């Protein structure tokens, strides 16, 4: 029976290349897909591209994956898919072309998919009466329209599949849905129709279990993290699909774990309603799904169902919201928390005198409550003998100069505040705050195209 295996090579922009390279060398796979894009990544790339038109994609895909493993993958006929194109798909394609040419890979076929970025179509869509309603909050899109960095639709697997149909050895996209990168090879190999909802759903869930890399193989594993073998050589997950079965495993001779609990933790990661997990390709229903251990580092996924895909596409709009400054100061025993609190009070009184107009201030204490906030243990018992504590003050303002006011006020507290204050990391900087406007757009507003460039 035909079996197709796909590896997950990257979980985000900045991930380690080790597992991907190990997989290319040692695993029996036909495809590898590398996800680089989180919710905010496109806005960061758009901002980089504004400063330098040559930027705006994830160069790591070329410098850390292809350079060290791309030629071997090509020789072994392992085809690679990635959304590393980000905001600058053609820039990414050109970097790959240059690498392939210098590696002497004549005939290497680079497929790429364009059309997810629709920023320039916004005025026309507004004129036609489209309102870009916000999923999460009330608000008028017209108020942010001048501050937009990027506007990208989450596109599905169809054009990625078309690149594979045309023989691409590597496929580059922009804001394709993460899981679409993984669905496309399965749909291509098994000839799944675009309304074969149950099979499309299986392909999507394979992608879902792989798109976060190590998190699908024992990374970030709450069930029993101490038991994960060789975390320093953590393998990333591999999905194997036949017409009848859907299994998750990993490459031989690497660390990590594939078991029911590790897969279950990833299975619902960033899923909202499990009966309606929306993707551009299919509405997935995993509300009755099963996960069963069938061998060492091997689980089988069952009962994944699909329903008709949504009519509209999710749109990720990133825009300028304001500015923030994060300042820190550390204190040691005795009374570390009390001193840090007292110091926060001193700083805020000074800032009131300086007339700082912050739209929001968030004060927390690293080592005490900066992660768990309300649910941290604040009992006298847990605080009285604290070894150390770091005061953290974050300030947000729409006005950059307001955020800057607190910067010079922190280090003087070493001499002017409670005893033992230690300033570290240098003076804070004002950072830009970007926000997302989650909305949707009709499919026909997009012109998605598949292309092939042969080296």
Q: How far from chain centre, in Å, is Cα 418?
A: 41
Query: x/- site string to other proteins, residues 162 to 201, per CB under 8 A?
Result: ----------------------------------------
Which residues 50-109 are close enough to bind other proteins by CB under 8 A?
none
Beta strands in 125-165 (DSSP E): 148-153
Cα(293)–Cα(257) distance, integer angstroms: 12
Give the three-state DSSP class for 42.
helix
State which of residues 103, 158, 198, 274 lies at the interface with other proteins (CB under 8 A).
274
Cα(389)–Cα(329) distance, integer angstroms: 9
Query: x/- site string to other proteins, residues 383 to 422, per CB under 8 A?
Result: ---------x-xxx--------------------------
Does 270 participate in binding other proteins (rule CB under 8 A)?
yes
Find the shortest distance in angstroms from Cβ 299 to other proteins.
12
State which of residues 170, 176, 206, 291 lies at the interface with other proteins (CB under 8 A).
291
Pick the closest to residue 229 from 240, 239, 217, 212 (CA basis): 217
Cα(285)–Cα(225) distance, integer angstroms: 29
Does 433 participate in binding other proteins (rule CB under 8 A)?
yes
Angle at 368 between CA 362 and CA 374, to 5 degrees: 60
State which of residues 278, 436, 448, 450 lies at the interface with other proteins (CB under 8 A).
436
Pick the closest to residue 49 from 82, 89, 88, 90 (CA basis): 88
Inter-residue contact 336 to 329 (CB < 8 Å): no
Cα(57)–Cα(42) distance, integer angstroms: 9
Helix (H) or strand (E) holding 405: none
For tokens 């006298």, the residue is 380
Does 261 participate in binding other proteins (rule CB under 8 A)?
yes
Query: x/- site string to other proteins, residues 334 to 363, per CB under 8 A?
Result: --------------------------xxx-
Find the shortest distance in angstroms from Cβ 436 to other proteins.
6
Does 269 participate in binding other proteins (rule CB under 8 A)?
yes
Does 327 participate in binding other proteins (rule CB under 8 A)?
no
Q: Under the rule (CB under 8 A), what is the footprint of other proteins? A: 38-40, 43, 135-136, 215, 220, 222-223, 261, 264-275, 286-291, 303, 318, 321, 324, 326, 360-362, 364, 366, 370-375, 392, 394-396, 433-436, 438
């Amino acid at each position: 029976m035909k079996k197709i295996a796909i590896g997950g090579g990257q979980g985000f922009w900045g991930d380690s290349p080790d597992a991907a390279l190990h997989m290319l060398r040692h695993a029996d796979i036909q495809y590898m897909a590398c996800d680089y894009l989180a919710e905010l990544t496109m806005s960061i790339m758009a901002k980089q591209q504004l400063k330098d038109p040559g930027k705006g994609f994830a160069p790591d895909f070329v410098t850390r994956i292809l350079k060290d493993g791309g030629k071997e993958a090509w020789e072994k006929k392992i085809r690679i898919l990635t959304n590393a194109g980000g905001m600058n798909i053609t820039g990414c394609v050109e970097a790959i072309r240059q690498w392939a040419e210098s590696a002497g890979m004549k005939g290497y076929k680079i497929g790429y998919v364009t059309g997810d970025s629709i920023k320039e179509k916004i005025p026309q869509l507004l004129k036609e009466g489209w309102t870009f309603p916000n999923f999460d909050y009330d608000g008028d899109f017209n108020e942010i329209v001048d501050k937009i960095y990027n506007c990208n639709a989450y596109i599905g697997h169809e054009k990625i599949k078309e690149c594979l149909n045309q023989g691409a050895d590597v496929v580059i996209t922009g804001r394709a849905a993460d899981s679409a990168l993984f669905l496309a090879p399965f749909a291509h190999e098994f000839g799944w129709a675009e309304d074969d909802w149950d099979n499309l759903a299986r392909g999507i869930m394979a992608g879902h279990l792989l798109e976060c890399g190590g998190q699908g193989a024992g990374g970030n594993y709450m069930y029993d993290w101490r038991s994960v073998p060789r975390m320093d050589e953590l393998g990333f997950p591999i999905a194997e699909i036949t017409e009848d079965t859907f299994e998750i495993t990993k490459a031989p001779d690497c660390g990590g774990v594939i078991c029911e609990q590790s897969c279950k933790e990833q299975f619902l990661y960033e899923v909202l309603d499990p009966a309606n997990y929306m993707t551009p390709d299919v509405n997935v229903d995993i509300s009755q799904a099963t996960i069963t251990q069938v061998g060492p580092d091997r689980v089988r996924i069952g009962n994944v169902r699909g329903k008709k895909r949504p009519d509209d596409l999710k749109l990720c709009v990133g825009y300028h919201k304001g500015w923030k400054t994060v300042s820190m100061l550390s204190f040691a025993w005795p009374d570390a928390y009390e001193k840090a609190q007292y110091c926060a009070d001193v700083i805020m009184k000074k800032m009131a005198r300086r007339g700082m107009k912050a739209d929001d201030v968030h004060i927390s204490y690293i080592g005490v409550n900066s992660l768990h906030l309300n649910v941290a243990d604040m009992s006298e018992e847990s605080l009285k003998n604290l070894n150390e504590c770091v005061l953290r003050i974050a300030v947000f303002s729409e006005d950059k100069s307001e955020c800057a006011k607190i910067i010079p006020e922190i280090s003087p507290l070493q001499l002017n505040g409670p005893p033992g204050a230690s300033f570290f990391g240098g003076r804070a900087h004002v950072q830009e705050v970007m926000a997302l406007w989650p909305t949707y757009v009709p499919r026909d507003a997009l012109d998605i195209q598949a292309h092939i460039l042969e080296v």
